[in-house]
């Protein structure tokens, strides 16, 4: 069976969310480490400059955003509980809030001098300065209202208190995990594991839940180069897309971009769009034709 290729970096929270889902699904996968900020030449080729991390690839099919990646992990690992649209509305509402507002609160609350020093140790002073410049620029273009540090910390603590009350069983919505657990996990991983904040000490159920989540591991990972990953795409064909689409721009060249932050557009021919997924066809001399998939929620389609 062809293995998923994941483009990520070690300190990426959404990268950790995806790695945890791969571990939960018991999958073997291939890893391509990319820079913490653009330029990322391999993703310029495959995903048209999509700037958020992670991105995944299976042959000549490319998946942008963890919701699209989670759907593919669910298919490969037979874990339908990872598909957001198949969950009850209370789970979907929890994920929508947690993946955006709570995640951003975690990043803002944890990004202090200690975190800055850790980033310098993991990368370099030059890379850290470029990273900060990149994130400031991205924040200025964001449509999400920024929080101040104290407000962000209060939001994170509110989330922990809510989870403490929810954890009457091993996981947030029952005895087994679902996509909500992985959405809640990566922000708290950033706060506690990367930033070293001690806030979990007052929430024993959440602390025990974190231990259960980390016990899933990351699956079986093998590192490959960016060129090897591009060769995989070049030697494959996008899988069949026998779908109907009522979108008025179907068949035309369009731009697809997130509607919150990191809003750099990806251009391609729109193959289909519905309430769940957006599918673009792109071509590049290095890889030929690839199909690029986005979740419908959180992304906007405009005529190019």
Q: Is the pLDDT assigned to residue 144 strictly greater than 80? A: no
Per-residue three-class SS string for the chain: CCCEEEEECCCCHHHHHHHHHHHHHCCEEEEEECCCCCCCHHHHHHHCCCCCCCEEEECCEEEECHHHHHHHHHHHHCCHHHCHHHCCHHHHHHHHHHHHHHHHHHHHHHCCHHHHHHHHHHCCHHHHHHHHHHHHHHHHHCCCCCCCHHHHHHHHHHHHHHHHHHCCCCECCECCCCHHHHHHHHHHHHHHHHCCCCHHHHCHHHHHHHHHHHCCCCCEEEECCHHHHHHHHHCCCCCCCCCCCCCCCCCCEEEEEECCCCCCCEEEEEEEECCCEEEEEEEECCCEEEEEEEECCCEEEEEC
Closest CA to 263 of 52, 122, 117: 52
2-14 tens-digit pLDDT? 899 999 999 999 9
Under the banding of pLDDT at 50, 70 and 90, the label for residue 125 is confident
Under the banding of pLDDT at 50, 70 and 90, the label for residue 73 is very high
Average pLDDT of the chain?
A: 93
Specify which of 34-48, 126-140, 239-253 reaches the highest per-range mean pLDDT: 34-48
Buried b (16+ CB within 10 A) or exposed e, 206-215: beebbeebee
For residues 154 and 42, the answer to whether their CB atoms sit within 8 Å is no
Q: Does 86-214 match 4-80+221-303 at the fold level?
A: no
Residue ranges per domain, the chain? 4-80+221-303, 86-214
Q: Give Dmax over CA atoms of the chain in angstroms.
A: 55
Task: Report the pLDDT value the prediction gives residue 134, as an integer from 0 to 100.
Answer: 62
203-222 tens-digit pLDDT? 999 999 999 999 999 999 99
60-66 average pLDDT score: 98
* Residues listed for the chain: 304
CATH tag, 86-214: 1.20.1050.10
Question: Residue 41 and residue 58: Cα distance in Å, rounded?
Answer: 18
Bridge-based pairing state of the strands 277-284 and 4-8: unpaired
166-198 tens-digit pLDDT? 999 999 999 999 999 999 999 999 999 989 999
Alpha-carbon Rg for the chain, nearest whole angstrom, is: 19
pTM for the whole structure: 0.93
CATH class of 4-80+221-303: alpha beta
Q: What percent of the chain has pLDDT over 70?
A: 95
Bridge-based pairing state of the strands 220-223 and 28-33: parallel
């Amino acid at each position: 069976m062809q293995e998923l290729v994941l483009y990520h970096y070690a300190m990426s929270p959404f990268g950790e969310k995806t790695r945890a889902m791969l571990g939960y699904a018991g999958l073997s996968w291939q890893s391509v480490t990319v820079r913490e900020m653009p330029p990322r030449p391999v993703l310029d080729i495959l995903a048209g400059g999509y700037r958020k991390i992670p991105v995944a690839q299976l042959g000549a099919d490319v998946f942008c955003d963890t919701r699209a990646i989670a759907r593919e992990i669910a298919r490969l690992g037979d874990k339908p509980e990872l598909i957001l649209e198949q969950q009850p509305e209370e789970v979907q509402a929890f994920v929508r809030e947690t993946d955006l507002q709570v995640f951003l609160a975690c990043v803002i609350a944890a990004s202090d001098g200690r975190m800055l020093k850790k980033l310098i140790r993991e990368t370099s002073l030059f890379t850290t300065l470029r990273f900060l410049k990149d994130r400031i620029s991205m924040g200025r273009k964001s449509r999400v209202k920024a929080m101040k540090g104290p407000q962000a910390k209060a939001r994170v603590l509110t989330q922990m208190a809510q989870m403490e009350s929810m954890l009457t069983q091993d996981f947030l919505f029952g005895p087994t995990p679902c996509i909500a657990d992985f959405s809640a996990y990566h922000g708290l991983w950033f706060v506690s594991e990367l930033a070293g904040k001690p806030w979990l000490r007052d929430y024993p159920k959440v602390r025990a839940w974190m231990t259960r989540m980390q016990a899933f591991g990351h699956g079986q990972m093998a590192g490959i180069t960016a060129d090897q990953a591009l060769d995989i795409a070049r030697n494959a064909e996008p899988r069949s897309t026998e779908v109907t689409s009522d979108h008025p721009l179907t068949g035309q060249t369009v731009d697809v971009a997130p509607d919150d932050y990191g809003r750099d557009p990806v251009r391609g021919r729109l193959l289909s769009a519905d309430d769940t997924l957006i599918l673009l066809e792109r071509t590049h001399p290095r890889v030929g034709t690839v199909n690029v998939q986005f979740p419908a929620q959180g992304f906007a389609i405009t005529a190019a």
